[in-house]
Amino acid sequence: MHINIEFKAKSNNHEQIRNILKENNADYKGRDHQIDTYFQVKKGRLKLRQGNIENSLIYYERSDDDQPKQSDVYLYRLKSEESDSLKQVLAASLGIKVIIDKQREIYFIENVKFHIDTVKELGTFIEVEAIDEDGSIGKDKLIKQCDYYKNLFDVQKSDLISVSYSDLLLDK
């Protein structure tokens, strides 16, 4: 398990954010077409991410808060050829809650991961995850990192999203 402190916000200024990331020497990992299948679970969220860059089974728990918030994340990386079989097993045993289809640009600056997202049926977003994979960074520094980038990207409180894309789509 590792912890993230993260925020997600509506964003119509992707070009400005790209420029800021380039100015800060962000490591661009690429553009990924991702299908996130959320499964019915009693607590937390369980999703299978199928993409060209990222393929993972992800379970996480977090509060729905519009401020940078902690997620406790369990992540299992998959080979892309394994994901369809796993999806069938999980769908048969748990049931599918919702499927999210998105285009995602992925960047890193040190331990901070940036997503510039275009989500089918929902719109455009920015997501920032300050990641502590081994407990060496600490929650306080992760919060400071998120706050720094929230200010740098000029994210307004009214643009912050407290829930996951799955919740937004289900509420539509």
Per-residue pLDDT of the chain (172 residues), as tens digits, is: 899 999 999 999 999 999 999 999 999 999 999 999 999 999 999 999 999 999 999 999 998 887 889 999 999 999 989 999 999 999 999 999 999 999 999 999 999 999 999 999 999 999 999 999 999 999 999 999 999 999 999 999 999 999 999 999 999 8
Q: How far is residue 40's CA from residue 36's CA, in Å, rounded to a whole number?
A: 13
- What residues contact residue 76 under an 8 Å CB cut-off, 6+ apart? 56, 57, 58
Identify the H or E element spanning 160.
strand 160-161
Q: How far is residue 151's CA from residue 136's CA, in Å, rounded to a whole number?
A: 25
pTM of the model: 0.94
Residue 37 contacts residue 94 (beta carbons within 8 Å): no
Helices marked H in 24-138 — which ranges? 80-94
CA dist list (Å): 59 to 10, 22, 37 = 24, 31, 12
| DSSP 8-state class, residue 168 | H
- Ordered by where they begin, the domains of the chain are 2-166 (2.40.320.10)
